[in-house]
Amino acid sequence: KAVIEFKDVKKVYPNGTVGLKNINLSLYEGEFVVVVGLSGAGKSTLLRTVNRMHDITSGDLLIEGQSIVNLKGKALRNLRRKIGMIFQGFNLVKRASVQRNVLSGRVGYYPTWKSVLGLFSKEDKQKAVEALKRVNMASKIYTRADELSGGQQQRVAIARTFMQDPTIILADEPIASLDPKTTKSVMDDLKQLNKDFNMTVLANLHSVDLALEYADRIIGLRAGELVYDKPIAEVSRSD
């Protein structure tokens, strides 16, 4: 089942820079897709069109069969709720506990007066514990975010995403500036969520080695164009 479909998608920034040129691409349920390409190739732009952080200039973009280009208000919030985002240097609230940060994933696009006051249901708190267990961070639940290492923070960000019950995860350079060991644990966590919940993951990475290790499919961008698209079984190192 196609979860994300790009149809002749073009993105031109207001200053005239072409971010994406006529992208045609379908991503399927449960796929772990890694986007590779040089800096400036359009990887971030591609990811950011999926949750409408960036609007496309022409073409169409479908999520679960529904065009998202004209969504507004509540429909747009519903779309974003389905999509978890893990971005580089992810902004946890530094002075707040891990628990609060994770619970804020629940507030997300649906703030209620209770959540604004920091009152969360028992179910939500239990869910936060479960999410933290998944990323091996349950023991840090009351630790302040700014006392965690970079990799631990990224894992908390993953747990926070999890509170939304997303069907799609966008990961923009999720491991930039992490050491190799931490990188592996963050990538393993992402892979685990992908497998356990059949979430579609679209991740942009600089490292070809990591792409080869974790992806089901690798796509390559160059100057805004899709120039490579192969399932991992057909990828050869010499490509």
Q: Give contact residues for ligand ADP (rule: CB under 6 A).
A: 13, 15, 17, 19, 37, 39-45, 88
Find the shortest distance in angstroms from Cβ 197 to ligand ADP: 26
Find the shortest distance in angstroms from Cβ 175 to ligand ADP: 13
- Give yes or no for a contact between 225 and 21, defined as CB atoms under 8 angstroms apart: yes
Least Cα distance to 87 among 200, 190, 172, 189 occurs for 172
- A 10 A CB-CB count for 109 gives 12
Find the shortest distance in angstroms from Cβ 140 to ligand ADP: 27
Least Cα distance to 235 among 201, 207, 211 occurs for 211
In the complex with ligand ADP, the residue whose CB is nearer, 206 or 230, is 206
Q: Amino acid identity of 116?
A: V
In the complex with ligand ADP, the residue whose CB is nearer, 105 or 220, is 220
In the complex with ligand ADP, the residue whose CB is nearer, 37 or 98, is 37
Find the shortest distance in angstroms from Cβ 50 to ligand ADP: 12
In the complex with ligand ADP, the residue whose CB is nearer, 46 or 131, is 46
Any idea what DSSP says for residue 194? H
Strands 66-67 and 83-87: unpaired
